[in-house]
Amino acid sequence: MIIHKVLNNNAIVTKEQGQERIIMGPGIAFGKKKKDPVDPTKIEKMFIPSFENAEQFKEILTTTPLDIIDLSEQIISYAEGELKTPFHDYIHVSLTDHLAHAVRLAREQLVVHNRLAEEIRLLYTAEYQIGEWAVAHIEQQLAVSLPKEEAANIALHLYNARQRHPNMATALQTATLLNELREQIEAFFGQTIETTSMTYYRFFTHMKLVLARIEQGQTLHDMDDVILSAVQTRYTDAFRCAENMASWLEQELQTTVPQSEVGYMALHVERIRPDFERGTSYENL
C-alpha cells in the first residue's frame, strides 16, 4: 500500500483501484509523505468511508487536535468491546467532532445542560455507563471538568452508531417524548420526580413500551371496566393527569389512546407520588 495523503501523524489516506481508505495507527504517518509505502505493522484501524462522510472524516482528522482524536478512538474501541458490536463508521466523525466541542466549552467554563439526560440514562443504560467511563477518562487525560450530562451526550452518539441507518433525530424522539411526559406530571402536581426511584423506573418502562406499541401499530393494554372505574374514582388526580398525558400523546403522535391505557398510566402516576416528598419543589427550580 502507498500513502495517497497524510492527514496527521496517526492517519493517512490510501487509494487502490479508485477507492479511498482511511488508515489509522500511532505514528503511521510520522516522517512520511505522499507515495511513501505504508508500514503494515502500524495499522490499527482501516475504514472505507461512505461517499457522504468521506470528506467530513478527512476534515475532522486534519483540523481536530490529536489528543481529542486519540481519546475518541479509545472510547469507540472501549465501547465496541463492552457492547460486543461494531459501530457505523460515521461514529468516527460524529463523536470526535462532539468531543472537540465539549472539551472546548469545558475549557471556556461554559456549561450546556442536556434536559434529556435522565431519559437517555434509562433508555440506553449500557451506552450511558460507557459514557460515564468516557467522561472520567477524558477528565483524567485532559485535566478538564465536564458536566455530568456529558455521559448522556456520549451515550446518544454510541446508541445512534449501533443502528444500521444512524439518525440522531430518531434516537432523540423517544427520549424527548418521555421527558415531556415526566415534565407534565411534575407541572400537574407542582413537584419534581425522583428519577432514580424504582416506581419511576416502572412508569418509565411502561411508557417506553406504550410508545413502542404506538410506533408499531400494536394494540395497547386492556383493563376491565370495573377496575378502570375504581381507578378513576380512587385516584382522581392521577387519573386527570394521565388523561392530560394521553391527550398530548394523541395530538403529538396522531393516534388514539384508549381509556384502559389511561387507567394503567394513572396507576403508575399514583405510585410515583410518594417519591415527590424526596424530590424538590417544582416551583423552586
- Domain residue spans in the chain? 3-48, 66-161, 168-284
pTM passes above 0.75: no
What CATH superfamily is the domain 168-284?
A: PRD domain (1.10.1790.10)
pLDDT digits (tens, 9 = 90+) for 133-156: 999 999 999 999 999 999 999 999
CB within 8 Å of 167: residues ≥ 6 apart: 160
By three-state DSSP, how is residue 279 classified?
coil
Query: What percent of the chain has pLDDT above 90?
Result: 44
First CA to last CA distance, the chain: 60
pLDDT digits (tens, 9 = 90+) for 16-64: 877 788 888 888 888 888 888 888 888 887 777 665 667 777 788 888 8
Cα 268 to Cα 248: distance, rounded to the nearest angstrom: 17
pLDDT digits (tens, 9 = 90+) for 156-210: 999 988 876 656 777 788 899 999 999 999 999 999 998 888 889 889 988 988 8
Does the fold of domain 168-284 match that of domain 3-48? no
**pLDDT of 235 over the 90 cut:** yes
* Helix extents (H) in the chain: 54-63, 66-83, 91-107, 117-123, 125-142, 150-161, 168-189, 198-216, 225-234, 236-253, 259-272
Task: Give me the sheet containing 19-24, strands edge to edge.
Answer: 3-8, 11-16, 19-24, 45-47
Confidence class for position 277, pLDDT limits 50, 70, 90: low
Nearest to 23 by CA among 5, 52, 35, 88: 5
Cα 255 to Cα 219: distance, rounded to the nearest angstrom: 11
pLDDT value, residue 105: 92
pLDDT value, residue 118: 92
Lookup result for grid cell 380512587? 234
**pLDDT of 132 over the 70 cut:** yes
Q: What is the bridge-based pairing of β-strands 11-16 and 45-47?
A: unpaired
pLDDT value, residue 284: 37
| Alpha-carbon distances, residue 55 vs 48, 58, 156, 276 (angstroms) | 12, 5, 23, 50
CA angle 24, 29, 34 (to 5 degrees): 110
pLDDT digits (tens, 9 = 90+) for 71-129: 999 999 999 999 998 888 888 888 999 999 999 999 999 888 888 999 999 999 999 99
Say which CATH topology domain 66-161 has. PTS-regulatory domain, PRD (1.10.1790)
**pLDDT of 213 over the 50 cut:** yes
Cα Rg, the chain, nearest whole Å: 24
* CATH number of 3-48, picked from 2.30.24.10, 3.60.70.12, 3.40.980.10, 3.30.1950.10: 2.30.24.10
Cα 126 to Cα 111: distance, rounded to the nearest angstrom: 25
